[in-house]
Structure 1
Amino acid sequence: MTNQDIRAEAERRASDRTDQEIIRKTLEEGVQTAWDRFALQQPQCGFGQLGVCCNNCAMGPCRVDPFGGKTSHGVCGADVDTIVARNLLDDLCVGAAAHSDHGREVVEVLLKTAEGEAQGYRITDTEKLKLVAAEYGIATEGRDNLDIARELAIGILEEFGTLKNRLQLSERAPEQTREIWRKTGIMPRSIDREIVEAMHRVHMGVDADYVNLLLHAMRTSLSDGWGGSMAATECSDILFGTPTPVTSVTNLATLSHDKVNIVLHGHNPLLSQVIVNTAEEPEIKKMAEDKGVKGINLVGMCCTGNELLMRSGIPIAGSFLDQELAIATGAVEAMIVDYQCIFPSVPATAGCYHTKVITTSTKTKIIGSIYMEFNPENAVDTAKEIIRLAIENYPNRNRDRVRIPERPMKVMAGFSEETIRKALGGTYKPLIDAIVAGKILGCVGIVGCNNPRIKQDHGHITLAKELIRRNILVVETGCAAIACGKAGLLVPEAAELAGEGLASVCKLLGIPPVLHMGSCVDCSRILVLAANIAKELGVGIGDLPIGGAAPEWYSQKAISIGTYFVASGVYTVLGIPPKIFGSQNVLNLLAEGVKGITNSAFAVEPDPMKTADLLEAEINRKRKALNI
């Protein structure tokens, strides 16, 4: 490729200038990335994209003709509606399990901390500890915080397989919303039960009714959003602190030329937060000095990065599609991963440079990486060993192959539900008044990942800019938040890009028009935000002038998030078609049929400008129904 071709290809792949610079470097050096592998997969299987390929038993795989040909049924007799709905439930179940297993680990560390068995952990937010404990009916007056934490952790852990058939945190939803769940039969009963039942239903010879399958998909998703994910968020806040506004920087320019660069990648903050704390210890600083290093530069990646950004102000280098690019700068001594969204290719990319990839979870072992098992009992010791390895690797950096972009982008993050409410004076009335007055039209949550099918960050940035221009407040989590951070939308100055009404509110409060609310499990914060506003108005979540969008999603977790948004009453637009277009009945139910149940639905629209039109129309529909 010529230099001009390389530049054009980099601009086609990504929106951010620092990403483009390192993509050019990978093309020049012949380092394979996700975009290259995506191109090699073309054309991808059309049956799979439509959701009409079934591999659920050894009689298959079966490819069903969605147009009613001779192969209109699988060997077992399942029709296209059953296969598509079953595949969707299967994917959603994986996403819900990923979030909920994350949650379980955090709750278990809370328990070990309370019992004095966890190294380097403490109860940081005692106020939240007592508030959540009160929701579980746990007495707090005159009790030691560790005793309260122990009883709370046990109470939450019991809900992963409870006999009481209800999730305490789902009681946060307005009564109107919970009544819909009860009438429809989708009230979540426990976290693990819904996931296990979902896997049972997708087995051949069990559920063959697409409506029944999709209703259970909604119930399973609710057990994630109002169960596993919410538990992860609340217990992380108790252990590490509830986020408050913090300023930092983002993009690949956060890497350092003269410090040891350690990238903390994945989704769980349990080890990475300990690494952050441990890196400040005198013995670690002396270890670096003894090697002639100016210091340790910790940067986040993906949702582990979001967790560290909003609590500790740690710079965030990038999102899902940036993980190989960070290594390709040639400046990363170690990439530490926990789980979820980790490319199995990362050790191969690292093999082109001096980078060490360190896996830390028994669930996530990758050939070519160094495995250093993390347990809460030895968290500090593991953190020290990881940092030592990175420091010792620093002299192996080949400076002739290092290219670090310039000019990191400033961001403001840490907008938890509590922070937003506090900024409004402890009540949502000022926000509600602004919405009623028309200064703010409504609110949209933009969430989800990157996907090489779409120019990186383009969907997130374009949609966010267009919504705020229309006076629609945007809240974000996950890779969507990182994308808008790289684009300069997560700073108060971005209010200049907003409509007059939204801009005036943002300037008054000193906040950005796009609010960073955390990692992907922190979509639960958006649920709580919506629930509390709905309660102040005396309505259900489905009555609010709000919406959701996932412009660049790729993960099964995004399917679960989108479904619990819709099941909770939030109209949600997907930028990439889910694998359901092989069944018109499934498509009709999710795009139209659920409106009669939750007053919300799914929509699919690849064009972010048209997505903004859909969301604005939905917000106006809800405003009209509320007579505002």
Structure 2
Amino acid sequence: MAKEPRPVEELSIWKDAQAMMKKARAEGIETVHERLQQQTPHCKFCELGVSCRICTMGPCKITPKAPRGVCGADADVIVARNFGRFIAGGSAGHSDHGRDLIEVLEAIVEGDTKDYSISDENKLRAIAAEVGVETEGREIMDVARDAVEVFFGDFGSRKKQVAFLSRVPEKRRQIWDRIGMTPRGVDREIAEMMHRTHMGCDNDAPNTMVHAARTSLSDGWAGSMIGTELSDVIFGTPTPSMSEANLGVIKEDKVNLLVHGHNPVVSEMVLAAAREPELIKEAEALGAKGINVAGLCCTGNELLMRQGIPMAGNHLMTELALLTGAVEAVVVDYQCIMPSLVQIAGCYHTRFIDTAQKARFTGAIHYDIHPHNAMEQARDIVRLAIKAYAERDASRVDIPCEPVKLMTGFSNEAVIGALGGSLTPLVDAIKAGDIRGAVGIVGCNNPKFQQDSMNVGLAKELIKKDILVLATGCVTTAAGKAGLLVPEAIEMAGPGLKKVCGSLGIPPVLHYGSCVDNSRILQLCAALANEIGVDISDLPVGASSPEWYSEKAAAIGLYAVASGIYTHLGHPPNILGSETVTNIATSGLEDLVGASFVIEPDPVKTAELFDERIKSKRKALGLSE
């Protein structure tokens, strides 16, 4: 018997989402919410992390009557192995993104591309100097060539530590060295995790968890950080600008292309092609008033930060954006792309286009984009979208709202520039208590939550308490739609935050980029700690991923904790079947690295937990409330 669908008001806080869910049901189109109902109740063994299928003596599951698998592994070992592989998957995703950016920079250096170039030479020289490359008096391509070698080296097995550990406070590096957590190479840590979790290898849960942390740190301080920094070098370092968000950014009178995924290497080229006068004329010849490019998820965040391109939605809006009936093409690269989009695109005139060999979708139109052919391929993609416009069924178009404004572009360079060139004014504001602390709210949507209820609810509660919020990833669109990413949002903030943000003309919630750009937050925390002369764990800061779902989010959370940042999750990873692993995550890591995870599904209670943590850190630093 089919389950009665839940009311759409329970599924999302947004009117545009609710309207499209009703349209989907009226047209008989299945979305993520219906599929979640079909999949529940979930397997309890999998939820607890006590099922194991890493060898064919099993699969095994741990119960009171069968407390060990065929090989003898108990719940602690099985849960730790499963979690370690989960972290390895997440670290691989963001770090492989970083590798792609190194390859583009290498193509620029070697003259293998005409489509990409170095946009920010000053930043390249700055980061090259940080990682030990000689920059004085040298040509930019020579500096870039040496930087390429250093960053490729961070993926290998021959180094004792990754290059950007030069940014980490000395106290933090000593902690990592003491417990064997210093990240040596991205691929090395991921490969070692896969080896450790092979049957008959690491059968000590705490030891596996330490290497899980090391693996995540190789992502945060190498793979992701390289991805962020080289994206700035190639496409430009973000500076503050205004844009828009929600389904209203899709235009009824234009050819609409949505870019989706995580890698700006593709989306930047699509945007550049869509701006070419010749292609705009082709669109106008079919009756359109131009070409409109809008973003979904993190590749949308990349374009939002650098180009001001509007955001159509976050993870749980991706299917619903197609239901407007006004999208000519969805162009994807990789990560967080639901295969269901191919089916939903097929219900309309929409072309679904994939662009990466590592992320092919059955039923998609494939374009194989590389540095040497990117612009040519992007033009073909835009032409395909223009042709699709002629097939649009106007009677099925429903764009449910008008867009809302948001402010974007808060890179660390932009923030420091706004502060007059140093972090001293920010430190002074923290010391004075006008900014009592800061929390990064990052990551995803999960259909197990009412969409964005936690993301928005927590942000609102924190800024009331004079706690600055930095938003990345899918939280960006949520905060923007809630009116939190405009300077006028200071009216929702406490008096201290209102004073500081008002004087700078910025919102109390700052858009800090895509989910790979959580490395910007790591860098900022390290810089603040170095400025004050303390460890990162001494700072009045925190991190949260309230509605997370992915391996990448778990890796981000773990590298935040391992870096000394108290981190909240709205629901637990699949580790509750092991008391040992659960206790390590929620308390034991505090003793090891000065931070831990906390699990709480209520935004008000979560804000109170952060408030208490920030009070204790301020007191330890000798700062008044």
Question: RMSD across aligned C-alpha pairs, in angstroms?
Answer: 1.3
**Range moving further from structure 2, 428-437 or 575-584:** 428-437
What residue number does 1:54 align with?
A: 52
**Range moving further from structure 2, 425-434 or 395-404:** 425-434
The answer to whether structure 1 residue 349 and structure 2 residue 347 are counterparts is no
Instruction: String of CA shifts for 1:488-538, please: whole Å, max 9, x gaps.
Output: 100010010000111111100111000000001100000000000000100
* AA at the equivalent of 2:266: L
What residue number does 2:13 align with?
A: 15
Instruction: String of CA shifts for 1:260-319, please: whole Å, max 9, x gaps.
Output: 000000000001101111222222122222323211000000000000000000001001
What residue number does 2:115 align with?
A: 120
SS of structure 2 residue aligned to 1:594: helix
Q: Aligned partners of 1:262, 1:599: CA distance in 2, in Å?
A: 45
Q: Aligned partners of 1:219, 1:435: CA distance in 2, in Å?
A: 31
Contact 1:6-1:24 within 8 A present in 2 as well: no
* AA at the equivalent of 1:597: L
Q: Paired residue for 1:390, among 365, 385, 388? A: 385
What residue number does 1:87 align with?
A: 82
Structure 1 unmatched ranges of 5 or more: none
Which runs of structure 2 are paired with 1:207-246 in the superposition (5 Å)? Answer: 207-246=202-241
TM-score (norm 1): 0.97
Q: Paired residue for 1:578, among 570, 573, 582? A: 573
The answer to whether structure 1 residue 301 and structure 2 residue 264 are counterparts is no
The answer to whether structure 1 residue 73 and structure 2 residue 68 are counterparts is yes
What residue number does 1:278 align with?
A: 273
Q: Aligned partners of 1:358, 1:219: CA distance in 2, in Å?
A: 36
Which runs of structure 2 are paired with 1:530-569 in the superposition (5 Å)? Answer: 530-569=525-564
Shift of 1:140: 2.1
The answer to whether structure 1 residue 290 and structure 2 residue 285 are counterparts is yes
Shift of 1:458: 0.5
Contact 2:150-2:163 within 8 A present in 1 as well: no
**Range moving further from structure 2, 160-169 or 209-218:** 160-169
* AA at the equivalent of 1:405: P
Which runs of structure 2 are paired with 1:94-493 in the superposition (5 Å)? Answer: 94-493=89-488
Shift of 1:162: 4.0
* AA at the equivalent of 1:70: K
Shift of 1:6: 11
**Range moving further from structure 2, 107-116 or 225-234:** 107-116
Shift of 1:76: 0.7
SS of structure 1 residue aligned to 2:410: coil
Q: Aligned partners of 2:339, 2:114: CA distance in 1, in Å?
A: 30
* AA at the equivalent of 1:604: I
Contact 1:96-1:221 within 8 A present in 2 as well: yes
Shift of 1:381: 0.3
SS of structure 2 residue aligned to 1:376: coil
* AA at the equivalent of 2:381: I
Structure 2 unmatched ranges of 5 or more: none
* AA at the equivalent of 1:208: N
Q: Aligned partners of 2:431, 2:234: CA distance in 1, in Å?
A: 38
Shift of 1:130: 0.3
TM-score (norm 2): 0.98
Shift of 1:142: 2.9
Q: Aligned partners of 2:15, 2:4: CA distance in 1, in Å?
A: 14
What residue number does 1:601 align with?
A: 596
Q: Paired residue for 2:36, among 38, 54, 59? A: 38
Contact 1:50-1:581 within 8 A present in 2 as well: yes
Contact 2:128-2:143 within 8 A present in 1 as well: yes
SS of structure 2 residue aligned to 1:81: helix
**Range moving further from structure 2, 553-562 or 425-434:** 425-434
Q: Aligned partners of 2:143, 2:368: CA distance in 1, in Å?
A: 29
Contact 1:91-1:556 within 8 A present in 2 as well: yes
* AA at the equivalent of 1:22: M
Q: Aligned partners of 1:43, 1:162: CA distance in 2, in Å?
A: 43
Shift of 1:8: 7.6
**Range moving further from structure 2, 162-171 or 510-519:** 162-171
Contact 1:6-1:27 within 8 A present in 2 as well: no
How many residue pairs get aligned? The number is 621
* AA at the equivalent of 1:523: N
* AA at the equivalent of 2:12: A
Q: Aligned partners of 2:402, 2:19: CA distance in 1, in Å?
A: 12
What residue number does 2:23 align with?
A: 25
* AA at the equivalent of 1:599: G
Q: Aligned partners of 1:367, 1:33: CA distance in 2, in Å?
A: 18
SS of structure 2 residue aligned to 1:152: helix
Contact 1:299-1:315 within 8 A present in 2 as well: yes
Contact 1:7-1:24 within 8 A present in 2 as well: no
SS of structure 2 residue aligned to 1:297: strand
Shift of 1:440: 1.5
Instruction: String of CA shifts for 1:561-587, please: whole Å, max 9, x gaps.
Output: 000000000000100111111111111
List structure 1 segments (4+ residues) > 3 angstroms apart after TM superposition: 5-8
Instruction: String of CA shifts for 1:19-52, please: whole Å, max 9, x gaps.
Output: 1111111121111110110011111111111111
Q: Aligned partners of 2:87, 2:480: CA distance in 1, in Å?
A: 28
Contact 1:495-1:506 within 8 A present in 2 as well: yes
* AA at the equivalent of 1:188: P
